[in-house]
Amino acid sequence: MTAHNRVDHSADNADELTSAQNDVRVLGKSRPRSENMAANKIECNACPVLCQITEGRSGACDRYANVQGVLTRVDPLVLLTRISDPSSTEHKGTQPQQQPQLQHRELSDGSADRQEANVTSASAELFVTGVGAGTTYPDYKPAPFMVSSKLNGVDMVTVVTEGIFSYCSFKVKIDTDRYLGPERASIRHRGEEVGHVTTAEYGSQMLSLGGVHHLTGGSKKEGRVTCEMMMALGNKQAVELDIDGGAKLIVQAGRAPIVDGVEEKRMRVGCGSATIGIFAKQWFGHVDEVVVVDDHITGVLSEHQAGRCLDMPLSGIKMRGRKSTPGRYFQVANPGQGWGGTDIANPLEIIEGFDPEHARPGMRLLMTSTTGEHSAWFVLDEQLQPVPAAMPSAVQKVVDRIVENCEPSLASVLFLAGAGGSLRAGVTDNPVWLTNSIKQAITHVSCGGAPAYVWAGGGITVMVDVLRMPDNAFGSVPTPAIVAPIEFTMRLDDYARLGGHLACVRPLDEVVSAERERSVHWAIRQSDWPLHQKPMLG
């Protein structure tokens, strides 16, 4: 670690610190690395940067400060509070434009805050999260909090920390039919490469953002911009992204994605072929042909198995693109922002003509996109040319039903991180025992109280929906790396068997009364409460 890494940024926020001094949580002093350090400075030992912080100021990450000569975690410790009547506020899943299940209530007055906590603590409805808990460095030190509590008469312990993650990323699902860019294309934020386009899934495009190679494997600027983008995304803020050879996006967890300045409304009910299959019966008798335009598979009703099952005669339509199986066509156009994720604005461009052996004047043709966002009605004239006409109400009704079946478009943001050996050492003297206990469903892992999916295989690789985490749960340090909360909950006797740091275990009420906190009201079913969770294993 070089000297220039030890940064004192406190001049920028000294005023805020003064007002925050009543809120800070006091940590310990430690012997400074440099004996020549000024007397009014202390060394922060919560991460490898080892900032030397002047009294009244904070370190490079703004998470720690020197308050009257004592190293102090500035942000409050976040407790989850279970509401008293889950049945009245039971969450029903994330809805577009809604707040996530977690409802935060930050109390402006410190005493009121404490009073609230004491009331809820008495009913044992609190869970200590890693948000604001702080980190311990170097790795042999126990995690900042080991909190004991009782669950149905059983002694439990939750080990709580803010992990510093270099190996982490965000997997983002963009619900859209539109073409966002080629698979593997680079994604940029403020000009720096911060991720790439991965696979397209059913009605959605997946992105991978962040990751160790962008954080630490490129230029200093790339790492800093990546880290800032990741922190904003994790904290449920909107971030702007540019895809090389593709679209400009604004992405925010739980909100509709904005593609090239246009807010997405709906995700498709299925590909063109699936849409034909779903609605064939409802169209039957009202149409002679339906084409569902789709960048992936364009469906043609009379040729499709669904049309054959209904004994529909062939219309003689000749499609552009590559025929896959009957009534299913690939590559009818290029990807783009037009009909069904193609680049076409005029749907007739994908029709080469009609075979007079099957076609006849007066034939009725519906063309629609997979979302029903685009639709048009045509009738063949004497030359077998499709002529636009007013869509009959019976047909319009089915198009409207396609729209109705297309769910609202959202951006979903999952945090993916590997809890490394060092973080594990803060939990137990023999880290592999922690890993094994998670695999054996003895230990439950959560991130800010949100249930974490634990990947199969080695290590502790977790994935969590940021919408289920408290607001502003993510921080960063200048190495650069992301700081994220993580909690390990198990029975106290199991913790002893794992070689846990038992001497550091403190009762929940003691933590609550000693720490300044804000309460977080989590409107969930009883079974979602972190202490009740079974580990979510891959």
CB 62 within 8 Å of CB 152: no
24 versus 359: smaller Cβ distance to ligand SF4: 24
59 versus 210: smaller Cβ distance to ligand SF4: 59
CB under 6 A: which stretch of 53-61, 314-322, 491-499, 515-523 binds ligand SF4? 53-61
- Per-residue binding string, ligand SF4, 364-403, x by CB under 6 A, is ----------------------------------------
The minimum distance between CB 417 and ligand SF4, in angstroms, equals 18
The minimum distance between CB 162 and ligand SF4, in angstroms, equals 9
CB 126 within 8 Å of CB 147: no
Q: Is 17 in the site for ligand SF4 (CB under 6 A)?
A: no
When binding is defined by CB under 6 A, the residue of 17, 27, 42, 46 that contacts ligand SF4 is 46
CB under 6 A: which stretch of 39-47, 148-156, 320-328, 488-496 binds ligand SF4? 39-47
CA–CA separation, 61 and 12 (whole Å): 12
Burial (0-12, 13-18, 19+ Cβ within 10 Å), 325:
exposed
Torsion of CA 109, 115, 121, 125, to 10 degrees: -60
Whether a cis peptide bond, with omega within 30° of 0, leads into 480 is yes
24 versus 50: smaller Cβ distance to ligand SF4: 50
71 versus 256: smaller Cβ distance to ligand SF4: 71
When binding is defined by CB under 6 A, the residue of 478, 485, 500, 535 that contacts ligand SF4 is 478
**Span 107-166, contacts to ligand SF4 by CB under 6 A:** none
CB 429 within 8 Å of CB 499: yes
3-state helix, strand, coil in the chain (%, to 5): 25, 35, 40
Rg (CA), the chain: 29
When binding is defined by CB under 6 A, the residue of 17, 24, 27, 61 that contacts ligand SF4 is 61
Q: Rounded to an integer, what is the distance from CA 228 to the centroid of its chain?
A: 16
* Count of C-beta atoms within a 10 Å radius of residue 534: 9
**What are the E-state strand segments in 184-300?**
186-189, 192-201, 204-210, 239-243, 248-251, 258-259, 262-263, 289-293, 298-300
21 versus 305: smaller Cβ distance to ligand SF4: 21
When binding is defined by CB under 6 A, the residue of 24, 27, 59, 347 that contacts ligand SF4 is 59
Q: Is 484 in the site for ligand SF4 (CB under 6 A)?
A: no
CA–CA separation, 271 and 329 (whole Å): 11
CB 356 within 8 Å of CB 373: no
CB 25 within 8 Å of CB 77: yes
Indicate the length of the chain as a whole number.
538
When binding is defined by CB under 6 A, the residue of 47, 180, 243, 317 that contacts ligand SF4 is 47
CA–CA separation, 77 and 61 (whole Å): 17
36 versus 111: smaller Cβ distance to ligand SF4: 36
Q: List helix spans (H) across 126-264.
A: 212-216, 220-234
Which DSSP string corresponds to 68-105?
TTEEEE-SPEEEEEE-S-HHHH------TTS--SEEEE
Q: Is 464 in the site for ligand SF4 (CB under 6 A)?
A: no
Whether a cis peptide bond, with omega within 30° of 0, leads into 138 is yes
CA–CA separation, 188 and 194 (whole Å): 5
Partners of 105 in beta bridges: 519
When binding is defined by CB under 6 A, the residue of 24, 42, 60, 271 that contacts ligand SF4 is 60
Q: Is 49 in the site for ligand SF4 (CB under 6 A)?
A: yes
* Helices 272-283 and 393-405: angle between axes, nearest 10 degrees: 140
Q: Is 474 in the site for ligand SF4 (CB under 6 A)?
A: no
66 versus 435: smaller Cβ distance to ligand SF4: 66
Q: Is 423 in the site for ligand SF4 (CB under 6 A)?
A: no
The minimum distance between CB 5 and ligand SF4, in angstroms, equals 9
Q: Is 51 in the site for ligand SF4 (CB under 6 A)?
A: yes
Q: Is 44 in the site for ligand SF4 (CB under 6 A)?
A: yes
CB under 6 A: which stretch of 60-68, 101-109, 398-406, 423-431 binds ligand SF4? 60-68
Helix (H, G, I), strand (E, B) or coil at 218: coil
Q: Is 231 in the site for ligand SF4 (CB under 6 A)?
A: no
CB under 6 A: which stretch of 56-64, 142-150, 282-290, 297-305 binds ligand SF4? 56-64
- Per-residue binding string, ligand SF4, 63-102, x by CB under 6 A, is xx--------------------------------------
The minimum distance between CB 51 and ligand SF4, in angstroms, equals 3
CB 135 within 8 Å of CB 523: no
227 versus 359: smaller Cβ distance to ligand SF4: 227
Q: Is 27 in the site for ligand SF4 (CB under 6 A)?
A: no
Q: Which helix (H) or strand (E) holds 305?
A: helix 305-309
CB under 6 A: which stretch of 44-52, 217-225, 238-246, 389-397 binds ligand SF4? 44-52
76 versus 338: smaller Cβ distance to ligand SF4: 76
Residue whose CB is nearest to ligand SF4 in the complex, by number: 59
Amino acid letter, residue 42: I
The minimum distance between CB 475 and ligand SF4, in angstroms, equals 9
Query: Left (φ > 0), alpha (ψ -120 to 50) or beta: where does 236 sit?
Result: left
CA–CA separation, 489 and 444 (whole Å): 5
CA–CA separation, 444 and 460 (whole Å): 11
32 versus 182: smaller Cβ distance to ligand SF4: 32
CB under 6 A: which stretch of 41-49, 170-178, 232-240, 503-511 binds ligand SF4? 41-49
User: What is the binding site for ligand SF4 (CB under 6 A)?
Assistant: 44, 46-47, 49-51, 59-61, 63-64, 477-478
